[in-house]
Structure 1
Amino acid sequence: MTAIQFINLRLPERPQQLAGLKVEDGRFVSDFSPGASPETVDLAGHLVLPGLIETHIHLDKACIMDRCRLSEGTLEEAVSSTSQAKAGFTESDVYQRGARILEQAITQGTTHMRTHVELDPGIGLTGFHAIRRLQKDYAWAIGLEICVFPQEGLLNNPGTEALLCEALESGATVLGGCPYMDSDPLGQIRRLFELARHYDCDLDLHLDFDLNPEGMTIPEVIRCTCEYGWQHRVTIGHVTKLSALPSETFLETALALADAGVQVTALPATDLFLTGRDASHNVPRGVAPLPKLHECGVTCSLSTNNVGNPFTPFGDASLIRQANLLANVCHLGTPAELARCLAWVSEESARMIRLPDYGLAPGCHADFLVVDVRTPAHVISELGQPLMGFKAGRQTFERSPAMLLRP
C-alpha cells in the first residue's frame, strides 16, 4: 500500500493557514491505514490546487504554422489552410505534435484534458489513432478524453458519419459538432443528438462562431437537449454571437441555457484573434461573456482551443494564462472574480465534463499542482507558474523558481 503525506502547504479555502494532505493509493485520505509508514514531502508553504482541466483543445492540428498560410486572419482562411495541411498528416506526425503540447500542458499544471479530433474521409482515422496512442502513453501524467467531430461538415460530407461511429466504438467517449460548416446546420445538430443518444455519449459542439447576432443555432441545441433529455451533457464552445446580443435577448438566451443545462466554453485566445477583423474602430472583443452567463446559472469553462496554427498562431498550453486573458477581456479584478476565473479551469470544468472524484477532499483523486503564490486570486493576477504537479499522488514534473544573480 503506497502512502505519502504532504506538509506545510496552503489550501485554497484557507490560504492563511499551513495545512497537510495525505495520499494513499492515488487518492486523498483523511487518515492512513493502521501501520502505514508514509513518506513525507514538505511543500514549503506553497499553495496547492486541484489539477487544472483543459475542456477544449485540438491536439491533432497543433504546431502547424510552418505549413499554413496566414494573411487574412479569418476563420474561413484558418479552416481552408488547415484543411490543406491536414492532407499531409500522418499518424507519426500527429503523435509528435500532440505529444509536444501534452508535455507543455502537463508542466503548466493540467491533469485532465478533452481534445477534439477531426474525422472526415480525407484524414480518416489517422488523427484518432495517434491521439489514442497519446492517451495511453501519457496516462501517467494526464487523463485524455477524446471528442471526435466533423470539422468539414457531416450531412454534406458523405462517409464522415461512419467514421464518427467507428471512433465512438473504438475509444472516443464524446461526440462533437461544427454546424456552421454544414450545408444544413440545424440538420447536423439534430443528427448529432440522435447519435449521442444511440452511443450514450456527451456532446461538445463548436457553435455560433461570428459576431452577427442573427442566425443563432443555440435555440435548436436547447430544444434538442430538452427533447432528448441530455441536460448537463451538452457543451457549446465559442458561441461568440452571445457577445453581440442586446441585453434583453442575451438574458433570455442565458436563462434558457441554464434551464436546459447547456454549458458554455469560452476560447478567448482564438476568439480574440479571429473575430472583429472587419471593424475599423471600436473593435469588439468577441468572447462569450462568461461572468454574465455564470450569473444566470450557466455552467462555464474557458480553454485553450488551438496552439500554433491559423486559428491561434501562439500559445503555451497554460490555462492560467488563458484565465488571466479572460479576466482582462471581461474586466474581472476583485479577488472573488479572479478566483472564479481559476474555477473556470478547475472545479467548474470538472463539473462540465462530469469528471468524478475531483478536488482535494478525502476520496478524490490525488491530482494536484503546487504554485508559489499566496491565494487562488493571485494565481490569476500574478500568472503564477506551477512549481510541481502530481497525478494519483505521483510527481510528474518540477520547475525551479527563477533566481536573481546579484553582483
Structure 2
Amino acid sequence: MKLKNVILLGESSVTTTSRLDIDIQDGKVRRACPSEHITSEPPKVLLPALCHPHIHLDKPFILTCNNPPSGSSECYPNYSDLLPETGSFDEALSNTSKAKGRYSKEDLYLRGSQLLAESYRNGVTSLRAFVEVDHVTGALPLTTAARLKSDFSHLLQIQVCVFAQDPLFSGTHGEANRSVIASFLKDHATSIQALGTTPYVEESREKSLWNIEWAIDTAIQYGLHLDFHLDYNLSQPSPLNQPLTFSVIELLQKHDWLGLADGSKTVVLGHCTQLTTLNSSDLEQLAGTIIRSRLPIHFVGLPTSDIFMMGRSTSSAGTPQARLRGTLQVPFMIKDLGISACVGVNNVGNAFTPFGTADPLQLASWGVGIYQSGTVNDALMLYGCVSWLARRAIGVEGEAGFEDIIEGPVPAGHAPN
C-alpha cells in the first residue's frame, strides 16, 4: 500500500518539500521519499499509534449498559440501582463491589468488547487491561479477558493485568483475595502479563508496605510487569504520612528489581495525586532518587478520574469555590523533573469516572487545558503521552515514535522534531 502526499507528526512546515510518499507493507512503513503526487488538496498526516497504558476492562459502561439484547435479559445484570448519588470515592468502591457480585460472562464480554472496539476505532493498537480478581469475582474477569485478548488479537496488542482493588492483608477477606490471585497466577500464567495492586486500601501503613512487598516478590517470581494504584489522596505529607511512592522505590531496590526482574519489565505508578502536594525540593529529591536508581519507573496520570475524585471542596466558608487540581502534572514531570510519565483513560462510564470515552486523543486534547500546555512542542509531548511514551511505560515493543514504524530511510529533514 502506498500513502501519497503525507506529512509526519512534528513537521514544522507543510510546504511541498515536507510532503512524502510512503510505502507500507505488513503494517510497517518500509520506505519514505519526497512526494511525487503533490496536489492542491491538504496533505494527509501520519501519526504513531495510540496506547492505553492504564484502562479497566471489566468495569466500563456499568452505568450505561442496562439495555440487554432482546430475549437475553437473564444473562445481563441490571446495575441501575448503582448510579452515583454522592459521586464520592467510597461510594464508587462500594457500588463497584456490589456490581462485581452480579457479573456474568456475557455481560463482561459485551462491555469489554465495546471498550476494545471503541479503542481500536480511535486509533489504539496496544493497551494494558486491568481485571479485578478477588474472592467475589473468582476467575470470571480473567477468563473473559483472555477470551477478549484472543478475539481482538488481530487488532490490538493487549496486556492483561491481574489487579487487586481490594485489600490483600486487611479486613475479613484480605487473605482470601491474596490466595485467589496467587492461585490464578500459578494456573493462568500464560494469560497474564502484569500484576497490579492498590496498597492504599489497606487498613494501616504497615499493611500497605506488606502489600507492596508481596506484589514485588510475586511479579519477580512470575516475570510480570508491576503496576500500583498509589497515593490517591491530597493530604499534606508528614513524617507519618509520606507518599508510598518513596517506599516503592526503596522496596524495589531492597528486593533487587534490577537484578532479579526481567530487564524488559517496567514498574508503573498510577494516580499518585499526593505528589502534587510536595514542595520543589521534595519533588527534585524524588526525581533524583528515581534517576539514580535506574529503576524502570513510569508515572501514569489519570486526569479524567483524578479530577472527578480528587480536589473536592474542603475550603472554609470564605472561599467555597477553592479547589486543588488533584492530578499529576505530567508535562512538568517530563520537562522539569526528567522522569518518565504519560496519561491514560483509566475508566469509562462507571462510578469512578461517569463520563468520557475510550479516545486517548481526546484525553491529550483535554491536557492542553488541564496542564496549561498550549505550545506546539507541548502538543507533540501530549500526543506522545498517549502514544510512544505510554507504550514505553507498559513495556510494549516499539516504544518510540517513528523510529519503530519506519524501517526504510527517511529523507533528511523529515524525521519528527
TM-score by length of 2: 0.80
Q: CA distance change for structure 1 residues 51 and 129 in 2, over 3 Å: closer, same or farther?
A: same
CA distance, structure 2, for counterparts of residue 133 and residue 101 of structure 1: 14
Q: Secondary structure at the match of 1:158?
A: helix
Q: Which of residues 322, 327, 333 in structure 2 aligns to 1:282?
A: 322
CA distance, structure 1, for counterparts of residue 375 and residue 132 of structure 2: 39
Q: CA distance change for structure 1 residues 365 and 140 in 2, over 3 Å: closer, same or farther?
A: farther
Q: Do the aligned residues in 1 keep the contact of 2:30 with 2:406 (CA within 8 Å)? A: no
Q: CA distance change for structure 1 residues 21 and 327 in 2, over 3 Å: closer, same or farther?
A: same
1:101 maps to 115
Query: Deviations for 1:121-169, whole angstroms, at most 9, x for unmatched residues?
Result: 1101111111111111111221111111110111231232333234431
More helix as a share of residues: 2
The aligned runs of 1:226-375 (5 Å cut-off) are 226-230=253-257, 233-260=266-293, 261=295, 262-279=297-314, 280-294=320-334, 295-358=336-399, 361=402, 364=405
1:70 Cα deviation after fit: 1.0
Q: Do the aligned residues in 2 keep the contact of 1:274 with 1:311 (CA within 8 Å)? A: yes
1:91 maps to 105
1:61 maps to 59
Q: Is 1:50 the counterpart of 2:48 in the alignment?
A: yes
Q: Which of residues 178, 199, 205 in structure 2 aligns to 1:179?
A: 199
Q: Secondary structure at the match of 1:159?
A: helix
CA distance, structure 2, for counterparts of residue 57 and residue 257 of structure 1: 25
The one-letter amino acid paired with 2:211 is Q
1:20 maps to 21
The one-letter amino acid paired with 1:337 is D
Q: CA distance change for structure 1 residues 363 and 190 in 2, over 3 Å: closer, same or farther?
A: closer
Q: Is 1:198 the counterpart of 2:212 in the alignment?
A: no
1:220 maps to 247
The one-letter amino acid paired with 1:141 is L
CA distance, structure 2, for counterparts of residue 25 and residue 323 of structure 1: 28
The one-letter amino acid paired with 2:83 is R
Q: Do the aligned residues in 2 keep the contact of 1:113 with 1:145 (CA within 8 Å)? A: yes
1:334 Cα deviation after fit: 0.7
More strand as a share of residues: 1
CA distance, structure 2, for counterparts of residue 350 and residue 204 of structure 1: 14
The one-letter amino acid paired with 2:344 is S
Query: Deviations for 1:149-197, whole angstroms, at most 9, x for unmatched residues?
Result: 1101112312323332344314111010100112311110011011011
Q: Do the aligned residues in 2 keep the contact of 1:54 with 1:303 (CA within 8 Å)? A: yes
The one-letter amino acid paired with 1:57 is I
CA distance, structure 2, for counterparts of residue 346 and residue 303 of structure 1: 10
CA distance, structure 1, for counterparts of residue 168 and residue 248 of structure 2: 16
Q: CA distance change for structure 1 residues 331 and 360 in 2, over 3 Å: closer, same or farther?
A: closer
Q: Do the aligned residues in 2 keep the contact of 1:121 with 1:159 (CA within 8 Å)? A: yes
Q: CA distance change for structure 1 residues 267 and 287 in 2, over 3 Å: closer, same or farther?
A: same
Structure 2 residue ranges without an equivalent (≥5): 65-78, 259-264, 315-319, 408-415
Q: Do the aligned residues in 1 keep the contact of 2:48 with 2:402 (CA within 8 Å)? A: no
The one-letter amino acid paired with 2:197 is G
1:271 Cα deviation after fit: 0.2
1:117 maps to 131
CA distance, structure 2, for counterparts of residue 348 and residue 69 of structure 1: 34
Structure 1 residue ranges without an equivalent (≥5): 32-39, 367-375, 378-407
Q: Secondary structure at the match of 2:373?
A: coil
CA distance, structure 2, for counterparts of residue 328 and residue 13 of structure 1: 20
1:402 maps to none
Q: Do the aligned residues in 2 keep the contact of 1:202 with 1:234 (CA within 8 Å)? A: yes
1:360 Cα deviation after fit: 6.3
Q: Do the aligned residues in 2 keep the contact of 1:257 with 1:263 (CA within 8 Å)? A: no
Q: CA distance change for structure 1 residues 6 and 250 in 2, over 3 Å: closer, same or farther?
A: same
Query: Deviations for 1:265-287, whole angstroms, at most 9, x for unmatched residues?
Result: 00000000011113333201101
State the percentage of identical aligned residues. Answer: 27
The one-letter amino acid paired with 2:179 is A
CA RMSD of aligned residues (A): 2.4
1:358 Cα deviation after fit: 4.8
1:361 Cα deviation after fit: 4.7
The one-letter amino acid paired with 1:242 is L
Q: Do the aligned residues in 2 keep the contact of 1:115 with 1:147 (CA within 8 Å)? A: yes
1:359 Cα deviation after fit: 5.6
CA distance, structure 2, for counterparts of residue 229 and residue 292 of structure 1: 29
Q: Which of residues 154, 175, 188 in structure 2 aligns to 1:140?
A: 154
CA distance, structure 1, for counterparts of residue 109 and residue 133 of structure 2: 16
